[in-house]
């Protein structure tokens, strides 16, 4: 009985290991086009068009108070995966992440492309902007809210214009738009103290699975816990049945009349 319980536990552990190792396979490195984590405390390669920024805390942070801060990076990806962390400071205006931008106007403002608006009131929204018009394609509100929170966002877009937005690795919004299939820039606009970090841009649509602690708690840890509990319950029930059978046998042995 003891040996059987050990083998049940071993199978459980193997199952949990399989779940965790499968999740770590989800993000490859071959398709990275560009990335910046600002851990070198500079934002070399970026161009500031308004206000100012700082990277002194190993992250890109709007630095001019009560004013728009705008910065861009050359990025020609229009289908793929954009992954980053963003922090919404407790200031009135919201950060915008233009992940696809085709042209900058004469004052170096983004003109036509797709953007994420990260608002404590409206949620994370996907917008399309063609300069003359802008349209909200959809929004989602993260369960933990947005103000003074770090969010990990992944947005994917395939060549047919299908976009998936993952908030903390959970699929939260799907929209379709074919207005733009090219890009020249990645553009970030924010007020002071809003932050972006750990930007990775891939030229392919990645399958996104929970990799953060939040995601693990949300999904994989939950599955692992259920599996472990099931294994323990099965082991205990099996043990009780075997114990009862053994007990019954010993009673039969005791009740057996002495042979003559």
Contacts with Ca ion by CB under 5 A lie at 37-40, 42, 44, 58-59, 197
Shortest distance, CB of residue 79 to Ca ion, whole angstroms?
A: 26
Six token digits for residue 194: 């809003």
> Between residues 35 and 40, which has the closer beta carbon with respect to Ca ion?
40
Which residue's structure tokens are 């390669």? 45
**What's the length of the chain?**
260
H helices within the chain, ranges in order? Answer: 2-24, 213-215, 221-255
Shortest distance, CB of residue 230 to Ca ion, whole angstroms?
A: 40
> Between residues 27 and 173, which has the closer beta carbon with respect to Ca ion?
27
Return the closest-CA partner of residue 68 out of 101, 91, 84.
Answer: 91
For the chain, where are the E strands, in sequence order? Answer: 32-36, 47-50, 53-54, 60-62, 69-74, 80-87, 96-101, 112-119, 123-130, 134-140, 150-157, 162-167, 170-176, 185-190, 195-202
Distance CA 240, CA 1 (A): 9
Shortest distance, CB of residue 57 to Ca ion, whole angstroms?
A: 8
Shortest distance, CB of residue 156 to Ca ion, whole angstroms?
A: 22
> Between residues 212 and 245, which has the closer beta carbon with respect to Ca ion?
212
Shortest distance, CB of residue 198 to Ca ion, whole angstroms?
A: 6
> Between residues 137 and 200, which has the closer beta carbon with respect to Ca ion?
200
Distance CA 117, CA 235 (A): 51
> Between residues 43 and 127, which has the closer beta carbon with respect to Ca ion?
43
């Amino acid at each position: 009985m003891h040996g059987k319980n050990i083998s049940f536990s071993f199978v459980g552990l193997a199952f949990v290991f399989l779940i965790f190792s499968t999740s770590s396979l989800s993000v490859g490195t071959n398709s990275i086009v560009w990335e910046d984590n600002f851990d070198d405390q500079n934002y070399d390669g970026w161009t500031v068009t308004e206000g100012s920024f700082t990277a002194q805390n190993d992250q890109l942070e709007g630095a001019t108070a009560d004013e728009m801060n705008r910065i861009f990076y050359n990025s020609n990806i229009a289908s793929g995966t954009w992954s980053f962390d963003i922090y919404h400071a407790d200031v009135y205006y919201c950060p915008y992440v233009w992940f696809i931008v085709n042209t900058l106007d004469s004052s170096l403002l983004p003109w036509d492309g797709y953007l994420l608006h990260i608002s404590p009131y409206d949620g994370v929204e996907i917008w399309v902007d063609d300069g003359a018009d802008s349209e909200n394609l959809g929004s989602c509100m993260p369960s933990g809210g947005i103000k003074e929170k770090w969010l990990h966002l992944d947005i994917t877009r395939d060549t047919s214009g299908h976009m998936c937005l993952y908030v903390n690795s959970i699929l939260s919004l799907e929209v379709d738009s074919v207005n733009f299939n090219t890009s020249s820039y990645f553009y970030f606009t924010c007020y002071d103290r809003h932050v972006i970090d750990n930007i990775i841009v891939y030229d392919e649509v990645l399958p996104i699975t929970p990799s953060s602690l939040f995601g693990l708690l949300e999904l994989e840890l939950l599955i692992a816990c259920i599996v472990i509990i099931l294994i323990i319950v099965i082991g205990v029930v099996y043990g009780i049945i075997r114990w009862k059978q053994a007990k019954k046998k010993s009673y039969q042995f005791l009740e057996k009349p002495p042979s003559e």
